[in-house]
Structure 1
Amino acid sequence: MQDSKLIEILKVFSPKEWKDFEKFVNSPYFSTGRDVSGLYSVLKKHHPEFNSDNLDKEKVFATLYPSEQYNEKKLKNITSDLTGMAEQFLVSERLSADDKLFDETLAKVYKDKKNDKLFLKTLNSLEKKLSGEKFKSDSGFKENEILERLFEEYYIGNHKFDKSVPKRVKYTEYVTLTFLVTFLRKQRDKIIIKDYYNLDMTSPLLESVYESIDFEKMLRLLKEKKSEWLWLVEFYYYILKSLQNVDDNSMFEKLQNLFYQSTEKFDRKEKYFIFNDFIAWIHTKDYKFDTISSQDEFDVFKKMLEHDAYSPSENEFMSVLLYRNIMNMAVSLGEFEWFEIFISKYTEKLKPEFRYNMQNLAKANLYFEKGKFEDALGCLSKISYDVFMYKVDIKNLMLRIYYELDLYESAFSMISAFKNFLTATDEISDIFKTQQMNFINFYNKLLKMKADNKSTDAGFISKEIERKDSIASKSWLIEKAKELNKKK
């Protein structure tokens, strides 16, 4: 049964949902006529892994019906019933957790039951809840659109056409706004997907629509007509335009100003997406013009944290990648005091299974930059290397620590292991591999000079490193090369 749909569903249940599902199963209201409580009790013993050999179909059947011969159809029927109840339970939980969806569904029920009083009361409740909602582009104004449509249908049904028309205007506005924001967002995605994955996100319809809309004219008219929605269309238009014109810093500054003037209008998830838009712009610009905008990127990260937009919602953890990127940026800019506060405050925002390793990696980087190389090595030794996702970060930092501590034998051994790892692994991109390979090659040259106390070529290597584009830990390599050059 391990591969059954039922088991796949039950695996996603949280501990609380599992307990609530037991009540659901035992409720006579939800019964399909067959008693599925026995099957539930059998499966309960194997939650949450469901990987026991005792979940073999025939063994499960023998447990449920010890005096009967195995009957495939009978087991299939009871399994199907419990599967249906599990799906019904999940839908019920979703409905209970979303008060707006609950009101929307209830209003439709009252409408079908032709109870205008309860219908309007429920719509008014929904309207009140939506009035306090902040904007999120992934859903736009779909809930508002449904609300206004329901109001319009009510007024038309009661022959109050003077009241139905304003509602039609309103939901048409919501449909239009949702389309515009979604369309502009997808045009932005088209650029990112092409730049990052070299894939085309296009079609004759999408291209024709985009080429037909004069957004500049639209914004001008919205401003002239004093539309309340100017800010929204303008903002998402500038997200797209800034990415189309990464050479125009003033356009990016305008985009940021528009956002910081209206942050209270966006929900947390949208802020999270917007800050990632800012990071995408910086990365695209740096890639196109071969520039480094570490301070600009770090400033965006700081703003992201100030606005609690480090994850899409309060219930979601900070991604390990974001934590790592902030760590690397803070370290590269020498923001050590700020970084110490970051470690103490935001490590707990990671998933529990990542906290210990990431905290030790962060502290190792901090100690290294402060010249406490043995402390840095001690932190790295605490990391569960076999399961840690950032093995390259550890190897790179360890090589630099070995260099600083004159641990030549360990360093040369690590060089060989690092090269073999990069050659064999498919966990990292070719670009990242190239950066690390270039680092290893220059590191090896510098290490040999230091170990042999021969630094005649250090000046030449320093210039060679400076000319090299794709190289990890470049500033550190240049610093070490210059130190050797002074010893000539």
Structure 2
Amino acid sequence: MENTLRNNPLIRLLKTLSKEEWQDFEKFVASPYHNNGRNFLRLVKILRKFHPDFESPKLTKQLLYNELCVGKDYKESVLNSSLSRLCTIAEDYLLYSEFRKNDYRFIECLKLKALSQRGLEVKAVKHIRNSVDSLRMNKLNEEYFHSMKMFRKEESMFNHSSNQRSRLYKPLSESIRFIVYSFIVEILSCDSTIMAQKNFWHEDYSNSYTKKLLSHIDFRGLLELIRSNDKQAFPVLNVLYLMNKSICEIDNDEYYFDVKKNAYEILDTLDQDFRKGVLSLLSLICTMKLVIGKKQFGAEGFQIRKKVIEENLYPVTHSNYMRPSEFRSTLLEAVNLSEIKWAEKFAGKFVEKIQPDIREEFIHYSKAIIAYEKKQYSAAIDYAVRVNINQIMFKLDIKNFIAKTYFETKSYEPLISHLNSYYQLIKNSNSKNHELLNRHLNLIKYLRKIVNIVLSDKRKEDLLFLKSKIEADNVTAKKWLLEKIRELT
């Protein structure tokens, strides 16, 4: 059987743990409550030597067995059993870890439920009295309304079961109110996410049954009613509503400046995770506007993104790693604004925050882009061909940069061949983001025409005509194409 542990489920899981989580995981494994009386701590401490990437060739099943069973003949079945049981404990740890991450308001709700179910009425009443005010005083997050609806509902159920029906109305009516607020938050957040990530999905969402359902909800009317009756809830719900409108109606700049103004007014009332989300979405909206040709949003978005990065407010994965999309957007925005030194500093520091199993790809990706911007074209090609990120956005980025590099070095024959490969990538893609694909197809089309003009030594008028076509079209790397035409004329 295979001696390597590269594809072992336990190893793949352990790769996702941060240094701090690993320390917590060791305590979890050491607890008899979780390990069913089996001691797996020694195995964990051996594996710790290879954390976080677990890429060392020394990490083999043979090594683990020799360390665990000194002097005994190798029995793979024994080791596999230990690895499997430890994997089960590790999965339990993930569940435990996620529970601890829950909004504390939700934890208070569960505590009230436990006290109520066990008939501990005095304790439950005291818990309600101590919790209600503190629940309202702390900073808001996306889970606030959900947690409050659950707590108030649990409180009303306790009042009902303990025959205190005179106290039923207030918590139950508040629960209904928070149900509506939670509904607004969840719907707008999910809809915004789908629209913002449309490069990665393949369905016709705009004409879907789901979107038709949403079209029958009068969010504006709900927000006006909330504005008049709940001064605490309105600012947060209004920001989420304006955020959604800005994303769904990306051509309307008024929504963006409105949501930015309102968001900055309430940032200090939000917890850190919610602040991250709000700032990240503002930055994303700027990127979306830049893509459709609104150049003024390049600098606007970059200032927000710098604030996000420099204050460590960027969104992360569940494993506390930087999201690949966040890394990409930040790097490209910096180089597009000629902030090359900042981009290089960012890439060098934050590539270490990318998930270990894909980190090397992002090292090559960032080095390719920065080398290109420094006109180190040979190095740019060398790094670019090593990138193998299986997402269409990154594949198109690399094809784009290689094409531009070939043109800059007057390597027209390999460029022509590369453009054919670039074209086939797009044609074979199953992405439904036709706008994205068409922008890249337009780049291929215009770059081919420029090459043909250069190779056939056609007249200046041909380039000027092509320039007018590019200026009017939606095309990737438009600024670069126009610069090349200016240089040629």
Deviation at 1:52, TM superposition (A): 9.0
How much does 1:105 deviate?
A: 4.3
| Match status 1:461 vs 2:463 | yes
Alignment-derived partner of residue 312 in structure 1:
315
In 2, the alpha carbon distance for the partners of 1:42 and 1:117 equals 49
Structure 1's 120 and 341: CA in aligned 2 closer, same or farther, altered over 3 A?
farther
Distance 2:402 2:24 in 1: 47
Q: How does 1:66-465 map to 2 (within 5 A)?
A: 81-96=85-100, 100=104, 103-116=108-121, 118-119=123-124, 124=130, 128=134, 131-136=137-142, 139=143, 141-188=145-192, 197=201, 199-201=203-205, 207-208=212-213, 210-211=215-216, 213-225=217-229, 227-243=231-247, 245-246=249-250, 248-266=252-270, 267-275=274-282, 278-279=285-286, 282=289, 286=292, 292-307=293-308, 308=311, 311-312=314-315, 315-317=320-322, 319-331=326-338, 340-341=341-342, 343-344=344-345, 347-351=348-352, 353=359, 357=364, 360-361=367-368, 363-364=370-371, 367=374, 373=375, 376-377=376-377, 380=380, 383=383, 385-387=385-387, 390-402=397-409, 408=410, 411-416=411-416, 418-419=418-419, 421-422=421-422, 425=425, 430-431=437-438, 433-445=440-452, 447-448=454-455, 457-465=459-467
The code of the aligned residue for 1:317 comes to M
Aligned residues: 449
Stretch moving more, 188-197 or 318-327: 188-197
Residue 331 of structure 2 aligns with an amino acid whose one-letter code is: R
1:330 offset after TM fit, Å?
0.8
* TM-score when normalising by structure 1: 0.70
The residue type equivalent to 1:178 in the other structure is S
**Cα distance in 1 for residues equivalent to 2:488 and 2:249:** 43
Instruction: Check conservation: 1:242, 1:251, Cα contact below 8 A.
Output: yes
Provide the rounded CA distance (Å) in 2 between the counterparts of 1:42 and 1:347: 30
Distance 2:21 2:199 in 1: 42
Larger radius of gyration between Structure 1 and Structure 2: 1
Residues 116 and 229 of structure 1: CA distance in aligned 2, closer, same or farther (over 3 Å): same
CA distance 1:104–1:85, change in 2 (3 Å): farther
Cα–Cα, structure 1 residues 106 and 77, in superposed 2: closer, same or farther, change >3 Å? farther
Q: Contact 2:372/2:405 (CA < 8 Å) preserved in 1?
A: no
Distance across 1 between alignment mates of 2:212 and 2:99 = 38
Cα distance in 2 for residues equivalent to 1:381 and 1:173: 58
Distance 1:81 1:162, change over 3 A: same
Would you say the 8 A contact 1:103–1:126 is kept in 2? no
Q: Which position in structure 1 is the counterpart of 2:434?
A: none
Q: Which runs of 5+ in 2 are unaligned?
A: 354-358, 390-396, 432-436
* TM-score where L is the length of structure 2: 0.70
* Cα gap change, 1:64 to 1:17, in 2 (>3 Å): farther
Give the equivalent residue in structure 2 for 1:370.
none
1:405 matched to which residue of 2?
Answer: none
Q: Are the counterparts in 2 of residues 304 and 310 from structure 1 also a CA contact under 8 Å?
A: no
User: Which string of whole-angstrom CA distances, capped at 9 and with x for unpartnered residues, describes residues 326-371 of structure 1?
Assistant: 134313xxxx5xx54454457523436468656655654554xxxx
Cα distance in structure 2, aligned partners of 1:479 and 1:88: 57
Going from structure 1 to structure 2, the CA distance change for 1:204 and 1:19 (only over 3 Å counts) comes to closer
8 Å contact kept, 1:459–1:481? no
Q: Distance in 1 between matches of 2:42 and 2:260?
A: 59
Deviation at 1:176, TM superposition (A): 0.7
Distance 2:59 2:316 in 1: 39
2:152–2:172: 8 Å Cα contact kept in structure 1?
yes
Give the 3 Å change call, closer, same or farther, for CA 424–240 of structure 1 in structure 2. Answer: closer
Q: 1:233 offset after TM fit, Å?
A: 3.8
Q: What corresponds to 2:394 in structure 1? A: none
Give the distance between the partners of 1:443 and 1:169, measured in 2 at CA.
68
User: Contact 1:279/1:297 (CA < 8 Å) preserved in 2?
Assistant: yes
- Residue 364 and residue 459 in structure 1: after superposition, are their counterparts in 2 closer, same or farther (change >3 A)? farther
* RMSD, matched Cα: 4.9
- Unaligned 5+ segments in structure 1 are 287-291, 368-372, 403-407
Distance 1:276 1:179, change over 3 A: farther
Determine the C-alpha separation between the residues in 1 that align with 2:486 and 2:418: 25
